[in-house]
Chain A
Amino acid sequence: MELKHKNRSFRKVKVKLASRVTTQYKRRKPAHAQCAKCRKELHGVPRAFPVEMKNMPKTKKRPERPYGGVLCSKCMRETILEKVKA
């Protein structure tokens, strides 16, 4: 175990090699995207590394509605209703 692996951002992975089973260290995945209003987990937003997100098309990174990828559908509806009634 190297020193740089000695923190919580890495996780242990057991890998089977031909001769023996070893442990390797991999980066943990980034956290789930969450709604800006109610902190709920967002659907349709992948839990990928920034490098992977960069190469993904825009339509695969968020739902195709206003506030998609920022607010959950429930909160989006509330904000639109507030705007309409005001």
Chain B
Amino acid sequence: MLEIGRVCVKLAGRDAGKTAVIVDVLSEPFVLIDGEVRRRKCNIKHLEPLERTIEIKKNASHADVLKALGLKEAKKKVQKKEKGVRPVRKRTVKIKTKKKEAKPKTEKKTVKVEKK
């Protein structure tokens, strides 16, 4: 019943209720699982096998398993900047400059008329 490619539901721990796929069969009570759950060694007692199986190779990667299951890969979390001491701003002295004199609007209109 528990061979490579068997889809199961996890029954214990923080991943309980999520679907997992058996990737490798280890020594007697343990198997290696992957899928919605974190890739890890798991006791058979903590798994409920389903009818569905998928075709994967032994020790298939996380991305391959998700593809076979038809799930999207979770987005990686963007690390936030650490709170604490603020970076010191460098103060720069602003030099006041004279404002440019606005050109009279009437000139532009006359130019356009000439082009046409």
Q: Which residues of A line the B interface, CB within 8 A?
A: 64-66, 73, 76-77, 80-81, 83-84
* A81 and B16 alpha carbons, distance in the complex (Å): 10
Given contacts A65-B13, A65-B16, A66-B16, 8 further A-B contacts (CB under 8 A): A64-B14, A76-B16, A77-B11, A77-B16, A80-B17, A81-B11, A84-B48, A84-B50
Indicate whether A66 sits within 8 Å of B12 (C-beta atoms), given known contacts A81-B48, A84-B48, A84-B50: no
* A80 and B20 alpha carbons, distance in the complex (Å): 14
Pair B9/A80 contact, Cβ less than 8 Å: yes
Count contacts on B: residues with CB < 8 A to the other chain: 9
- Residues of B contacting A66 in the complex (Cβ-Cβ under 8 angstroms): 14, 16-17
Question: CB < 8 Å: which of B12, B17, B50 contacts A73?
Answer: B12
Chain B residue, CB-CB nearest to A67: B16
Pair B16/A80 contact, Cβ less than 8 Å: yes
- Residues of A contacting B11 in the complex (Cβ-Cβ under 8 angstroms): 77, 80-81
- Residues of A contacting B9 in the complex (Cβ-Cβ under 8 angstroms): 80, 84
Q: Which residues of B line the A interface, CB within 8 A?
A: 9, 11-14, 16-17, 48, 50
Chain B residue, CB-CB nearest to A80: B17
Q: What distance in Å separates the Cβ of A43 from its nearest Cβ neighbour in chain B?
A: 14
* A83 and B50 alpha carbons, distance in the complex (Å): 12
Chain A residue, CB-CB nearest to B11: A77
- Residues of A contacting B13 in the complex (Cβ-Cβ under 8 angstroms): 65
